[in-house]
Structure 1
């Protein structure tokens, strides 16, 4: 049985819920942008997709929910890395319109349990996702889910580096990529990179709006040289736990 919505047939979609299980649709979101000299541009959507896959596998056969993963939206609001090659930015209104219209298309078919799964934390991107949740609620009377990882109750369950705000292509994110797609990390270069201590939320709140001003001269912060597969798997376990909690909340 596939976990991927786009692999179903039309009759299979029409039959969702007939077995008594509530269908919950996960929408992986991220951004295509530089992640240091060592990690892939698609780090953020890769992590979102990895969380979704793990949650769907963990809930396979669950008597209460049927989890399906929608085709991802890999592009997001990403201006901070504009000085580096590889960033693909879309504006707030474009992202808002895309996500709200996707939700409306699903809601129109009675598929009203949707969860946004995001791992790109640029403030304007996060604000747009939060606005999508409000817009869908105001327009359709439906509360979709959004696992907002920077909220304190979620962030405190993740690594020390994440909590310090050094979470762009450092130990935290690089470990996650190593756990899911190790071939996409230049591990020799990774091992040579020095720690770059930057409190991203504090610096952004102070008005710094690009990586150079933030002190991220190679498009990363934190300590990627300390990244390990083991830490990545442990972080994925925590992320998946939180996503499953969100799925059950939305399903109820």
Structure 2
């Protein structure tokens, strides 16, 4: 059992009193347009997939007990506003929510928490960085240079919203959620998203993403997704071990 919410209250008490150090993983995502082919919940799906894999990989660890908290499904998604389906919350709301969740757990003695995010809108990431720093919990920041260097060419290019990188990850975990007939017809769209954001573009359309994607979604495969999940899980397990050591 790796889901925290599946435990009973007495089992949590046993967890706190047990010999293994509990580390809790908090997946964070968003409800945001991901092209005409990928689900709105892509970012949450990736975060949850990483957490599940990391918890399973460490299930037999002698020193750590890793459990996955219920995901935070909503985030700051203003860039997707021109398209149907996006649900955005404010940065202050996200920051407060993370602080409240982590604070509630910390007051019970569950202080070792890792926040895992795969939605990269700057205001969203900024809120998570601020919240985790204030809460004194760990944040797997995939935008840090050392982490970016270990991910795929498309991710490193910055042209990777609902492209080959993300779509491959969804195909690896929930292929039924991808419109594969639509997927194979989509042309490559190159948009350097960090540069476009720095230039002041306010949404996907202003960036040149008139169908809410960039990158090469038609190149996505489940095999690439499984390989990328392996790398993402490596990064997460490394951080979990650091957190477990205090």
TM-score by length of structure 2 reads 0.98
- Give the one of 225, 228, 231 matched to 2:221: 228
Structure 1 counterpart of 2:101: 102
1:205 pairs with 2:198:
yes
Supply the distance in 1 between the matched residues of 2:18 and 2:133 (Cα, whole angstroms).
31
Shift of 1:48: 0.3
Report the counterpart of residue 167 of structure 2 in structure 1.
Answer: 174
Q: Tell me, yes or no, if structure 1 residue 155 matches structure 2 residue 148.
A: yes
For residue 80 of structure 1, give the secondary structure of its aligned residue in structure 2. helix
Q: Secondary structure at the match of 1:27?
A: strand
SS at match of 1:116: strand
| Aligned residue pair count | 245
- Distance across 2 between alignment mates of 1:179 and 1:144: 29
Deviation at 1:106, TM superposition (A): 0.1
For the 8 Å contact 2:98–2:132, the answer to whether it is kept is no
Provide the residue aligned with 1:41 in structure 2: 40
**Could you say what the CA RMSD is over the residues aligned between the two structures, in angstroms?**
0.7
Q: Which residue of 2 aligns with 1:120?
A: 119
User: Which 4+ runs in 1 deviate beyond 6 A?
Assistant: none
Q: Which runs of 5+ in 1 are unaligned?
A: 137-142
SS at match of 1:212: helix
2:16/2:109 contact within 8 Å kept: no
Matches within 5 A, 1:211-250: 211-250=204-243
Q: Give per-residue Cα distances to partners, 1:86-140, cap 9 Å, x unaligned.
A: 000000111111110001100000000000000000000000000002221xxxx
Q: In the TM superposition, what whole-angstrom CA distance separates every residue of 1:17-50 from its partner, at most 9, and x where no partner exists? A: 4331110000000100100000000000000000
